[in-house]
Amino acid sequence: MDESIGKPGDNQMVDCHCHLADDGFDEDIAEVISRAKQNGVSAGLVVSIVPQDFEKILKLSERFPDFVVPCFGVHPVQYIRKQCCCCFSLQDLDAAIPLIDQYHHLLGAIGEVGLDFQPRICPTPKEKSLQRKILVKQIELAKKYDLPLNVHSRSAGRPTIELLKENGVKKALLHAFDGRPAIASQGVEAGYYFSIPPEVVRKEQKQNLVARIPLDNMLLETDSPVLGPVRQERNEPANIQVSCEYIAKVKNVEVAEVRRITTQNAIRLFPKLAKFIK
């Protein structure tokens, strides 16, 4: 028997990317976090989309200091009433930087940041260039405060990994990666981690990633309230058990082993998580 199994923390999991500041959790956030804890989830890295999320995430971390780890960053796409609007601007980032500077000591990561090259959102080279500039500025912030990056890379897996490498990023999570396993392998070679959401049970692309990515480079996430095991149903942190069980089946290991390794990986990448694991 592996002597490492059975140590403290083996039955605990971490949701490494969730949006608990989403309006869809306003009415029952306490119950959502309670269910997560009951299902073995010890902490959640709560990421932002826009600077307006920062205050709400801070309040969540004050209300639930034993669960919420705040992450500040600006997503490459602006959303208005849940509909895609346009790429973020440098002026939008300018509004975020002073708040990141002010609260950096509380942050688990800079995120959610990244690139989104979906044609309907980012149709021109000019917009792609803008997204790259905004990501590079946030990479610089992460380096300044020695923080990892929590990274979005929709329809931009290869460009995102290449940009991270070009800018000397050592600590990054590629969340809900939608690229091919061969591209993900380039991130693995760079030492990056990949988090698997519960939609893996219904998404062949994510299943292919799980088969290819080593467990030592894998984390768990929900991306709540989206990417759940059932399409169009609200997702929540308790559901990372679904990801955990699927990974265990594919890797042919015990569920406890997946919990142990992914939790160790999470602490390695996000050191502020250590205090949440007993």
**What does the H/E/C string look like for 132-167?**
HHHHHHHHHHHHHCCCCEEEEEECCHHHHHHHHHHC
Q: Which pLDDT score, from 0 to 100, does residue 5 have?
A: 37
Question: What does pTM read for this prediction?
Answer: 0.93
Q: Which pLDDT score, from 0 to 100, does residue 2 have?
A: 39
Cα–Cα distance measured from residue 175 to residue 220, given in angstroms and rounded to the nearest whole number: 9
> Which burial class, exposed, middle or buried, applies to 237 when counting CB atoms under 10 A from its CB (0-12, 13-18, 19+)?
buried
Tokens of 51: 């600077």
Q: Which pLDDT score, from 0 to 100, does residue 80 have?
A: 53
How many CB atoms sit inside 10 A of residue 182's CB?
10
Pick among 3.60.20.10, 3.40.50.2300, 3.40.50.1370, 3.20.20.140: CATH of 13-276? 3.20.20.140
Q: Which pLDDT score, from 0 to 100, does residue 81 have?
A: 46
End-to-end CA distance of the chain: 22
Q: Which residues contact 261 (CB under 8 A, 6 or more apart)?
A: 215, 216, 218
Sign of the torsion angle spanned by Cα atoms 213, 268, 256, 277: negative
Q: What are the 10-residue block averages of pLDDT along the chain, 278 residues in total? A: 43 96 96 97 96 96 98 84 62 90 97 93 88 96 98 97 98 97 98 98 97 98 98 96 98 97 98 92
Q: Which pLDDT score, from 0 to 100, does residue 90 have?
A: 84
The backbone torsions φ and ψ at residue 136, rounded to the nearest 5 degrees and listed phi first, read -60, -40
Q: Which residues contact 136 (CB under 8 A, 6 or more apart)?
A: 163, 167
Question: Per-residue DSSP letters for 63-92?
Answer: H-TTTEEEEE---SEEEETTEEEEE--HHH
